């Protein structure tokens, strides 16, 4: 683990070995989330409202913050560390934080190796990120490590559709090209099992589809929280 990073906001702290830019694909993803995040927030509004309700306005880590889709859910006065390895996302993330006066430091790092001290934050949140991290178990272990005792981990994720459903078939059929286009996003993960094995207390996990969504392959959702 590396040294403490003291936030001065908004700013970007890149770890050169952990950030990436896959050329046109990364630029496409930054564009995609800039254009569609209002729509995604709309179809995921109930899930996010429940998972992110009651966050404390202390030190909050957001994993895979993208271009700042979850800023509207952050409590006023929070100090936010946005962990975002894609350099293509950083400019928009900083611009939106500036517009909304979010107290933000961007860490150009990966969820699997957080440059954040043990037991130092109150909340860790993520949306649509555990589908993409290379190693879910390592990311979840890092989340537990950085949370203070009593701190919470809150998530909204898409997962594998129920076995034998047409959506499951579709997910398997397009899994590889989808993962290429969306820089590692795996449509077929059993994220519930990983989260439940991660050792949080008082886990609340709900499954509910994103309703009336155009993005059929990612409509199977899970959301919830657990306490360190
Ligand atoms: C599907 S996007 C979701 C972005 C945002 N959370 C949202 O809900 O719009 C996945 C994000 O996770 C980031 N990401 C990819 N690998 C990661 C990793 N190992 N650790 C943390 N974030 C990662 C991507 O760069 C991207 O910004």
pLDDT tens-place string over residues 43-55: 999 999 999 999 9
- Per the CB < 8 A criterion, the answer to whether 82 and 62 are in contact is yes
Contacts of 165 (CB under 8 A, 6+ apart): none
| Per-residue tokens: 203 | 């886990």
| Per-residue tokens: 10 | 């908004």
**In this model, does residue 178 exceed pLDDT 70?**
yes
pLDDT at 211: 83
**Residues in contact with ligand 1 (CB, 6 Å cut-off):** 33, 37, 63-66, 69, 83-86, 89, 110-112, 127-129, 132-134, 184-185
pLDDT at 213: 86
Integer Cα distance of 174 and 100 in angstroms: 37
Q: Where are the domains of the chain?
A: 11-227
Tell me the average pLDDT of the chain.
93
Average pLDDT over residues 180-188: 98
Give residue 9's pLDDT band: very low, low, confident or very high (50, 70, 90). Answer: low
Integer Cα distance of 150 and 193 in angstroms: 22
- The percentage of the chain sitting over the pLDDT mark of 90, rounded to a whole number, equals 89
Considering only CA atoms, which residue is closest to atom 16 of ligand 1? 133
For the structural domain made of 11-227, what CATH number should be given?
3.40.50.150
Give residue 6's pLDDT band: very low, low, confident or very high (50, 70, 90). Answer: very low
**In this model, does residue 31 exceed pLDDT 70?**
yes
Average pLDDT over residues 79-96: 96
- The percentage of the chain sitting over the pLDDT mark of 70, rounded to a whole number, equals 95
Task: Specify the higher pLDDT residue, 6 or 31.
Answer: 31
Considering only CA atoms, which residue is closest to atom 14 of ligand 1? 64
User: How many other C-beta atoms can be found within 10 angstroms of the C-beta atom of residue 2?
Assistant: 11
Residue 157: closest CA among 30, 33, 38, 51: 51
* C-alpha 63 to ligand 1 mean position (Å): 7
- Per the CB < 8 A criterion, the answer to whether 90 and 112 are in contact is no
pTM here is 0.94
pLDDT at 5: 45
Which numbered atom of ligand 1 lies nearest the CA of 89?
27
**Distance from the first to the final alpha carbon of the chain:** 19
**In this model, does residue 210 exceed pLDDT 80?**
yes
């Amino acid at each position: 683990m590396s040294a403490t990073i003291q936030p001065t906001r908004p700013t970007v702290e890149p770890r050169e070995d952990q950030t990436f830019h896959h050329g046109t694909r990364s630029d496409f993803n930054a564009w995609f989330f800039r254009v569609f995040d209002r729509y995604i927030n709309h179809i995921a509004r109930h899930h996010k409202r429940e998972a992110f309700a009651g966050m404390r306005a202390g030190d909050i880590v957001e994993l895979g913050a993208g271009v700042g889709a979850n800023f509207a859910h952050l409590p006023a006065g929070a100090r936010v560390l946005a962990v975002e390895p894609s350099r293509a996302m950083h400019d928009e993330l900083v611009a939106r934080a500036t517009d909304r006066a979010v107290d933000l430091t961007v860490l150009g790092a990966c969820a699997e190796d957080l440059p954040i001290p043990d037991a130092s934050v109150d909340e860790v949140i993520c949306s649509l990120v555990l589908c993409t991290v290379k190693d879910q178990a390592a990311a979840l272990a890092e989340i537990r490590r950085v949370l203070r005792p009593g701190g919470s981990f809150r998530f909204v994720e898409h997962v594998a559709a129920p076995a034998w459903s047409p959506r499951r078939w579709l997910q398997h059929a397009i899994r590889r090209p989808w993962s290429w286009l969306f820089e590692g996003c795996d449509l077929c993960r059993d994220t519930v099992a990983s989260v439940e094995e991660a050792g949080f207390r008082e886990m609340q996990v709900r499954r509910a589809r994103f309703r009336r969504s155009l993005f059929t392959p990612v409509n199977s959702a899970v959301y919830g929280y657990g306490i360190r």
